[in-house]
A = this chain, B = another copy of it.
Amino acid sequence: MESARKQEIIAEAAQLFATRGYHATSMRDLAKALALQGGSLYSHIDSKEELLWLIVDEAASQFLAMLHAVTASDTPPEATLRDAVRGHVGVIANDLAAATVYFHEWRFLTEPRRSAFLARRRDYEARFRQIVAAAVVDSPAVDPKWATTLILSATNWLYQWYDPAGPLPPDELADRYITMLFHGILMPQPVP
């Protein structure tokens, strides 16, 4: 359980790491954004890398919790996959800064945190693949492994350009992606 002040520091760090990058953000930059002196941060945190870890690990928890919620209900496989894509997009859009750090800055973690991160990400991808496999079970030409890679690749890229203040809500974007991914972009007639 982190104190309220520490949560503020983590949130500000996520913003700065996302916009400037982890190594290009100094502890004094972070302190200045919080109206503190550089050394004062260390009343709350152990190290700069701890901040990176807390941001990245919390994001991993968000992704995994979302998948658990999606698979808990008893819906048809295609609907479950649709919910998972919506959820994945939602986690990213909900905290874009954290998602950016999760996708872009994780590699600056050192061991053993780096391995811990990778294990959680592998776990997430494996669970996601099971959902995809169930949805494409009647499509013999589609390999669930590559379908999963395609879906997660397309959606992970969101953090590079998505603007939460823009006109496109996350669910609407997800539905557009889902329609194209499910039925292809070469559709002579509209989806019924």
The verdict on A158 contacting chain B, using a C-beta distance below 8 Å, is yes
**Interface membership of A71, Cβ < 8 A:** no
Known contacts: A21-B107, A23-B23, A24-B23. The answer to whether A187 contacts B142 by CB under 8 A is yes
- Is the C-beta of A185 less than 8 angstroms from some C-beta in chain B? yes
A135 at the interface (CB under 8 A from B): yes
User: Which residues of A does B touch, CB under 8 Å?
Assistant: 21, 23-24, 78, 104, 107-108, 132, 135-136, 138-143, 146-147, 149-158, 160-161, 176-177, 179-188, 190-191
Q: Of the candidates B21, B146, B149, B182, which one forms a contact with A184 in the assembled complex, judged by CB atoms under 8 Å apart? A: B182
Q: A21-B107, A107-B21 are in contact. Are A185 and B142 (CB under 8 A)?
A: yes
Q: Could you say which of A78, A140, A176 has the most chain B C-beta atoms within 10 Å of its C-beta?
A: A176
Instruction: Establish whether residues B180 and A185, one from each chain, have CB atoms under 8 Å apart when the complex forms.
Output: no
A-B pairs with beta carbons under 8 Å apart, 23 shown: A78-B186, A139-B186, A139-B188, A140-B190, A141-B179, A141-B187, A141-B190, A141-B191, A142-B180, A143-B176, A146-B177, A147-B180, A147-B185, A149-B161, A150-B154, A150-B180, A150-B185, A153-B153, A153-B157, A153-B158, A180-B184, A182-B185, A183-B186
Identical chains in the assembly: 2
Query: Which chain B residues border A104 with CB–CB below 8 Å?
Result: 104
Having A141-B190, A146-B177, A180-B184, one finds 20 other A-B pairs with CB under 8 Å, namely A21-B107, A104-B104, A135-B185, A138-B188, A139-B185, A140-B190, A141-B191, A143-B176, A146-B176, A147-B180, A147-B185, A150-B154, A150-B177, A150-B181, A152-B157, A153-B157, A153-B158, A156-B160, A180-B181, A183-B184
* Residues on B with beta carbons closer than 8 Å to the beta carbon of A191: 141
A134 to chain B, nearest CB (A): 12
Q: Closest approach, in angstroms, between the C-beta of A58 and any C-beta of chain B? A: 21
